[in-house]
Chain A
Amino acid sequence: MTVRGLAVRAAIFAVATALSIPGAALAGKLLIPMDLKQANHLKAYGIAFWALTKNIEVDWLLNYRSGSFMIDGLENVGAECRVRGVTYEEITGTEAARIYAGIQSEDNNMDVVRLEKAPKIAVYVPPNTLPWDDAVTLAMEYAEIPYDKIWDDEVLRDTLVHYDWLHLHHEDFTGQYGKFYASFATQPWYVEQQVMYEKKAKANGFRKVSEMKGAVAQKIKNYTGAGGFMFAMCSATDTYDIALAAEGVDICDYMYDGDPPDPQFQKKLNYGNCLAFENFTLEANPLVYEYSDIDIPPSPLVQMLNPETDYFTLFEFSAKYDPVPTMLTQDHASIIHGFLGQTTSFKKRLIKKTVTILAEKEGTEEVRYIHGNFGRGTFTFYGGHDPEDYQHQVGDPPTDLSLHKNSPGYRLILNNILFPAAKKKQQKT
């Protein structure tokens, strides 16, 4: 239990006590339900974020009606909810106190987390337009949550210290350009990307792109260790750890960096550098659209999956004793429709024992969603590319989230955006 949590409980107790005095009354509250009554779950996160930017405190009611929010009943909050199409309920102070009391009861697996300050968010995204969408930026744009775009230059210049939360999506930190060589080597976007990255590496004093990306991965690790929050999806998850493990080792073939890889690269990997994975084997063939055996099922075999039966299950945690994983798994559905990505799921036996598994496909080795601590910060990895596009291909149009405003898969992304607001702001070195 954090100090903050105790303070919240004390305040609630005071409220409940005050209510027992005849004539006492509290100002009304707005409850933003996050169960099936909510018309727009994704924009509801935007309302919570918006309230924080207006210095209005928000209580996140973990496991109460699927992770609802309680905000002071200010007129402008209600108006903004209406404008954004977010369902809300006006409740009296008495009703609010009753809700808090119920949440605090030891019989209920619920808790209250006070969200204090809107986190400053950075999204790591290259400057060139790539022919695929980014689920996290889509979610933030739709929820109207502001963010800054940064890339290698900014990371290498240590601008990450200015941000509370860093998001990585479909990235390749190994310097193999997404292993798209076999399919897209002659495509203009691929050629342009490679030339741009090579110029960038040279400008930053690196001989190879893989060396620059490795340095960027290390900077991100340092940022996390110093108290930052890192969220990664799709190929940014495994390639990130692979890049850390391959520090000082050439794993790229000639089409990626002009020379063959170190023939002993597999033996030289240092899993101790990784955040989440260990004992993985890299895919040595440069023409195979796969990085390692972390990803399950392997990309060449995804066609054997049946979309109709592809689901994963969120785990339940103790809200009072494990608030962090509880926050990250708030959702109005516990069984969520699967979706593919260059990295779809993580092989269970390759996940470090110190990492918390948040969701997996039951009865299989396929883990979907994990969370861990590193230093004073945390990281969360979420497999798959786009929760509402089962198999997003290169060149496909971006998903229109106005058609998926109740997406349980997208809620998991947005849980991560609010989670940093729940912690006291860390001192960064």
Chain B
Amino acid sequence: MTVFLHIKCVYFWGSVKLKTAILVRILSVRLIIVTTKKLLIVIISTIVLGGNSTPCTAMAQGSPADIRMRLAQSYERSGDFESALRVYSELFSTDSSNFMLIESLKRCHLKLKHNDEVIALIEYGLKLNPADIGSRAQLGNVYLLKGDEEKAAEVWAHAISLAPGEETAYRVVGSSMIQARQFERAAAIYRDARKALGNPTLFASDIAYLYGIMQKYPESTREYLALLRQTPSQLIYIQSRISSFTGNDRALAGATAVVEEAVAAERKNVEFRRLLAWLFMEGKNFDAAYGVYRELDTLTGGGGKELFTFAGRAFNEKSYAAASKALSEVIDRNPNFREMPRARYSLARSLEELESAGRIKTEPGAGVFDRAIGMYNRIVFDYPNTEIAGQSLLRIALIRKDKLSDPGGARDVLEKIASDYKIFLPVATEARLALGEIYIGFDDLDRAAGTLTAVAGTPPYGGPDRELAALRLAELSFYRHHYPQAMTILSDLTRNSVSDVTNDAISLQLLITENEKDNREALDRYAEARLLRAGRRDADALAILDDELTSRPGNALADRIAFMKGEILVLMKKPDEALASFALIVDSYPESLLRDRAMFNTASIYETDKADRAGAIRTYELLLEKYPNSIHAGAARKRIRFLRGDNI
């Protein structure tokens, strides 16, 4: 038989909120007696549960005072401040120099709003430790809670007087004031610290922040400038602090004015200028920002980098004048600028936008877009066979096509792009699409088909460029009276209901479907008129339309024909004839789906071409009366409210 004596001593240790511990010891003893011929081993062990005299009972439970302290803390944590106070007070009566007890009593009295008791405790603590500035600062806060502002100020001043040469004293008192939301006082204390310690930038960040809270934005900015002057690397930090009030126009204006003064006073300070440039950009004042970036570029020897970055942002924000000024300067002053091609292209784009808006005075004898076109041409010459050259050529073509009504000139340029720049796919694709439209305008339908097919590819037509090319091909088939071919393409296009071309595709599909069988001749003539319009041969188109209306006034397409006629007459600046054409639709074709649109166009003619406000209002109102569910009703209402002068 073998006897084993197992001794198990397990300590179970748990703690509640790190302040209490429970020690549980579990003993087990198991005795197994083993006997052999020569050896008898008996192991006995006992473990005593409880008591302090054994190693297993090493953890003491604590003194009664500790236990009472923990009890009071538990009361305090659970929000029973009165009970906590009672226990703390009992402990304090036996240990009145215990600072932890004093603090605990203060907390409880504060929670119970016993301000006088708190004052008494603090003053008692100060007797034990008169140099405790933190307690004096706290005393000031309590007087403030009592409503005695004067006494609070006196106490705070006294706290400072104990250590007037110590920065910590001012910080401690200032923090107390901020806690009590006495921002003016705190700022004043920090300013006093500067004088006392002879450090004019001491507490700059704190004072700046306080001024910001008090909405004294110029003063706040001055402090941040002092900080920036001292530590230029803090620019990002300062921008982040100031950005908390740049959303406010008044604050932004105040801050900007202060920084402008500072820049004028310290002309060589780069960071001040960066801050000023940033403030101008925050306020979207790009012209002013340009001036600052200009100076920055010179000061930093940036070689155009600062101005180029600024120009990009200004262009994106549609501030083309500022962008063009900046880019001109980059180009003129930095002949070796690394991004020169891009800079020249961006400048040409900016000029193009300015010329479009009529904001550049054209020289006598010169064309409106001559400057932009000239710049693009120089880019092509200086950087041949590059993508930037391709983009420049494309801009020239589009200007000629869309703004100068020079389809022939546009065609020549686009053909060059299509042949010489085909490796630059986005440029080439856009060029082919434009070229296709131009060929259609010239009635060169075979070449148009070839060019557009190169973009569209074969169905299904995925992607916006291919879809647009396919729509143009469908229109091409329509112009050629190849209606089944057109319908095949259109049926593929109309499968994608979210494409940009779907509505136009559906419209053309409907036109063909409704007229191909029973109104073929009129449809053919209508298609011819549309082709002429695409080529801007409006007079020829008008002749066909007039002929159709005369010879077949009752045909199913008569309303569309009259509508197109009206549109052409508006472009030809013949408002009275246009009015008559639209009136024909309203009066003579009661089933027409174009009646509301004709009426809307009529009202627009009164409003813009004839400057007849009353007539416009009357017609818009008539539209609302006759066609209240029209898709043009909303726009008509807006025009009425505008013309009436309603403040909506």
Verify A85–B634 contact, CB threshold 8 A: yes
Verify A83–B640 contact, CB threshold 8 A: yes
Chain A residues with Cβ under 8 A from B82's Cβ? Answer: 263
Q: Please report the C-alpha to C-alpha distance between residue A250 and residue B110 in the assembled complex, in whole angstroms.
A: 13
Q: Please report the C-alpha to C-alpha distance between residue A84 and residue B637 in the assembled complex, in whole angstroms.
A: 7
Chain B residues with Cβ under 8 A from A284's Cβ? Answer: 79
Verify B111–A263 contact, CB threshold 8 A: yes
Chain B residues with Cβ under 8 A from A188's Cβ? Answer: 244-245, 247
Of B164-172, B261-269, B554-562, B620-628, the one with at least 4 CB within 8 A of chain A: B620-628
Q: Does B22 contact A (CB under 8 A)?
A: no
Chain B residues with Cβ under 8 A from A144's Cβ? Answer: 648
**B145 CB to closest chain A CB, in angstroms?**
5
Verify A198–B145 contact, CB threshold 8 A: no
Residue on B with the closest CB to A207?
Answer: B147
Residue on B with the closest CB to A82?
Answer: B624
Q: Does B611 contact A (CB under 8 A)?
A: no
**B246 CB to closest chain A CB, in angstroms?**
10
> Which of B111, B180, B625 is A258 in contact with, Cβ under 8 Å?
B180
Residue on A with the closest CB to B625?
Answer: A82
> Which of B113, B215, B624 is A195 in contact with, Cβ under 8 Å?
B215
- Chain B positions within 8 Å of A, measured between CB atoms, are 79, 81-82, 110-113, 144-145, 147, 180-181, 183, 213-215, 244-245, 247, 621, 624-625, 628, 633-634, 637, 640-641, 648
Q: Please report the C-alpha to C-alpha distance between residue A79 and residue B111 in the assembled complex, in whole angstroms.
A: 66
Residue on A with the closest CB to B182?
Answer: A258
Q: Please report the C-alpha to C-alpha distance between residue A262 and residue B79 in the assembled complex, in whole angstroms.
A: 12
A-B contact pairs, 30 of them (CB 8 A): A39-B628, A79-B621, A82-B621, A82-B624, A82-B628, A83-B637, A83-B640, A83-B641, A84-B637, A85-B628, A85-B634, A85-B637, A87-B628, A144-B648, A188-B244, A188-B245, A188-B247, A191-B213, A195-B213, A250-B113, A258-B144, A258-B180, A258-B181, A259-B110, A260-B111, A260-B113, A262-B113, A263-B79, A263-B81, A263-B112
Interface of B is mostly: helix
Chain A residues with Cβ under 8 A from B79's Cβ? Answer: 263, 284
Q: Please report the C-alpha to C-alpha distance between residue A250 and residue B145 in the assembled complex, in whole angstroms.
A: 13
Q: Please report the C-alpha to C-alpha distance between residue A375 and residue B282 in the assembled complex, in whole angstroms.
A: 53
Q: Does A322 contact B (CB under 8 A)?
A: no
Q: Please report the C-alpha to C-alpha distance between residue A13 and residue B180 in the assembled complex, in whole angstroms.
A: 71
**B603 CB to closest chain A CB, in angstroms?**
13
Q: Does A95 contact B (CB under 8 A)?
A: no
Q: Please report the C-alpha to C-alpha distance between residue A198 and residue B244 in the assembled complex, in whole angstroms.
A: 20
Chain A residues with Cβ under 8 A from B213's Cβ? Answer: 191, 195
Verify A195–B214 contact, CB threshold 8 A: yes
Most buried by B among A83, A85, A87: A83
Which 5 residue pairs spanning A and B have beta carbons closest together?
A82-B624, A188-B244, A260-B111, A259-B145, A83-B640
Q: Please report the C-alpha to C-alpha distance between residue A80 and residue B584 in the assembled complex, in whole angstroms.
A: 28
Q: Does A400 contact B (CB under 8 A)?
A: no
Counting chain A residues whose Cβ lies within 8 A of the other chain, the interface size class is 20 to 34
Q: Please report the C-alpha to C-alpha distance between residue A356 and residue B621 in the assembled complex, in whole angstroms.
A: 45
Q: Please report the C-alpha to C-alpha distance between residue A207 and residue B148 in the assembled complex, in whole angstroms.
A: 11
Chain B residues with Cβ under 8 A from A154's Cβ? Answer: none
Chain B residues with Cβ under 8 A from A82's Cβ? Answer: 621, 624-625, 628
Chain B residues with Cβ under 8 A from A79's Cβ? Answer: 621
**B143 CB to closest chain A CB, in angstroms?**
12
Residue on A with the closest CB to B183?
Answer: A195
Q: Please report the C-alpha to C-alpha distance between residue A47 and residue B498 in the assembled complex, in whole angstroms.
A: 38
Chain A residues with Cβ under 8 A from B624's Cβ? Answer: 82-83
Chain A residues with Cβ under 8 A from B147's Cβ? Answer: 207
Verify A85–B180 contact, CB threshold 8 A: no
Residue on B with the closest CB to A192?
Answer: B215
Verify B215–A198 contact, CB threshold 8 A: no
Chain B residues with Cβ under 8 A from A39's Cβ? Answer: 628
Q: Please report the C-alpha to C-alpha distance between residue A192 and residue B220 in the assembled complex, in whole angstroms.
A: 15
List 4 additional contacts besides A83-B624, A195-B215, A258-B180; criterion CB under 8 Å. Answer: A82-B625, A87-B628, A207-B147, A263-B79
Chain A residues with Cβ under 8 A from B633's Cβ? Answer: 85
Chain A residues with Cβ under 8 A from B214's Cβ? Answer: 195
Chain A residues with Cβ under 8 A from B110's Cβ? Answer: 259-260
Per-residue B-contact encoding for A198-237, CB less than 8 Å = 1, 0 else: 1000000001000000000000000000000000000000
Q: Please report the C-alpha to C-alpha distance between residue A85 and residue B631 in the assembled complex, in whole angstroms.
A: 12
Per-residue B-contact encoding for A176-199, CB less than 8 Å = 1, 0 else: 000000000000100110010010
Per-residue B-contact encoding for A11-38, CB less than 8 Å = 1, 0 else: 0000000000000000000000000000
Q: Please report the C-alpha to C-alpha distance between residue A85 and residue B214 in the assembled complex, in whole angstroms.
A: 48
> Which of B144, B245, B621 is A83 in contact with, Cβ under 8 Å?
B621
Q: Please report the C-alpha to C-alpha distance between residue A319 and residue B245 in the assembled complex, in whole angstroms.
A: 54
Q: Please report the C-alpha to C-alpha distance between residue A82 and residue B82 in the assembled complex, in whole angstroms.
A: 70
Q: Please report the C-alpha to C-alpha distance between residue A250 and residue B183 in the assembled complex, in whole angstroms.
A: 23
Verify A258–B145 contact, CB threshold 8 A: yes
Per-residue B-contact encoding for A246-282, CB less than 8 Å = 1, 0 else: 0000100000001110110000000000000000000
Residue on A with the closest CB to B617?
Answer: A83
Chain A residues with Cβ under 8 A from B181's Cβ? Answer: 198, 258
**B524 CB to closest chain A CB, in angstroms?**
41
**A194 CB to closest chain B CB, in angstroms?**
8
Residue on A with the closest CB to B214?
Answer: A195
**A148 CB to closest chain B CB, in angstroms?**
16
Q: Please report the C-alpha to C-alpha distance between residue A39 and residue B628 in the assembled complex, in whole angstroms.
A: 10
Per-residue B-contact encoding for A68-100, CB less than 8 Å = 1, 0 else: 000000000001001111010000000000000
Within 8 A of B (CB), among A136-159: 144
Q: Please report the C-alpha to C-alpha distance between residue A85 and residue B648 in the assembled complex, in whole angstroms.
A: 14
Residue on B with the closest CB to A85?
Answer: B637
**B213 CB to closest chain A CB, in angstroms?**
6
**B440 CB to closest chain A CB, in angstroms?**
40
**A81 CB to closest chain B CB, in angstroms?**
9
Chain B residues with Cβ under 8 A from A195's Cβ? Answer: 183, 213-215
Q: Please report the C-alpha to C-alpha distance between residue A260 and residue B79 in the assembled complex, in whole angstroms.
A: 12
Residue on B with the closest CB to A186?
Answer: B244
**A200 CB to closest chain B CB, in angstroms?**
13
Chain A residues with Cβ under 8 A from B637's Cβ? Answer: 83-85
Residue on B with the closest CB to A198?
Answer: B181
Q: Please report the C-alpha to C-alpha distance between residue A206 and residue B111 in the assembled complex, in whole angstroms.
A: 22
**A327 CB to closest chain B CB, in angstroms?**
28
Q: Please report the C-alpha to C-alpha distance between residue A144 and residue B648 in the assembled complex, in whole angstroms.
A: 8
Residue on B with the closest CB to A191?
Answer: B213
Chain B residues with Cβ under 8 A from A85's Cβ? Answer: 628, 633-634, 637
**A221 CB to closest chain B CB, in angstroms?**
27
Chain A residues with Cβ under 8 A from B648's Cβ? Answer: 144
Q: Please report the C-alpha to C-alpha distance between residue A97 and residue B111 in the assembled complex, in whole angstroms.
A: 71
**B105 CB to closest chain A CB, in angstroms?**
15
Chain B residues with Cβ under 8 A from A260's Cβ? Answer: 110-111, 113
Q: Please report the C-alpha to C-alpha distance between residue A309 and residue B559 in the assembled complex, in whole angstroms.
A: 50
Chain A residues with Cβ under 8 A from B145's Cβ? Answer: 258-259
Q: Please report the C-alpha to C-alpha distance between residue A385 and residue B126 in the assembled complex, in whole angstroms.
A: 52
Residue on B with the closest CB to A262?
Answer: B113
Chain B residues with Cβ under 8 A from A84's Cβ? Answer: 637
Chain A residues with Cβ under 8 A from B180's Cβ? Answer: 258
Q: Please report the C-alpha to C-alpha distance between residue A82 and residue B215 in the assembled complex, in whole angstroms.
A: 48
Q: Please report the C-alpha to C-alpha distance between residue A202 and residue B641 in the assembled complex, in whole angstroms.
A: 45
**B46 CB to closest chain A CB, in angstroms?**
52
Q: Please report the C-alpha to C-alpha distance between residue A192 and residue B183 in the assembled complex, in whole angstroms.
A: 13
Chain B residues with Cβ under 8 A from A83's Cβ? Answer: 621, 624, 637, 640-641
Q: Please report the C-alpha to C-alpha distance between residue A258 and residue B79 in the assembled complex, in whole angstroms.
A: 19
Chain B residues with Cβ under 8 A from A263's Cβ? Answer: 79, 81-82, 111-113
Chain A residues with Cβ under 8 A from B245's Cβ? Answer: 188
Q: Please report the C-alpha to C-alpha distance between residue A83 and residue B641 in the assembled complex, in whole angstroms.
A: 8
Chain A residues with Cβ under 8 A from B111's Cβ? Answer: 260, 263
Q: Please report the C-alpha to C-alpha distance between residue A191 and residue B628 in the assembled complex, in whole angstroms.
A: 50
Chain B residues with Cβ under 8 A from A87's Cβ? Answer: 628
Residue on A with the closest CB to B147?
Answer: A207
Chain A residues with Cβ under 8 A from B244's Cβ? Answer: 188
Per-residue B-contact encoding for A343-387, CB less than 8 Å = 1, 0 else: 000000000000000000000000000000000000000000000
Q: Please report the C-alpha to C-alpha distance between residue A262 and residue B81 in the assembled complex, in whole angstroms.
A: 11
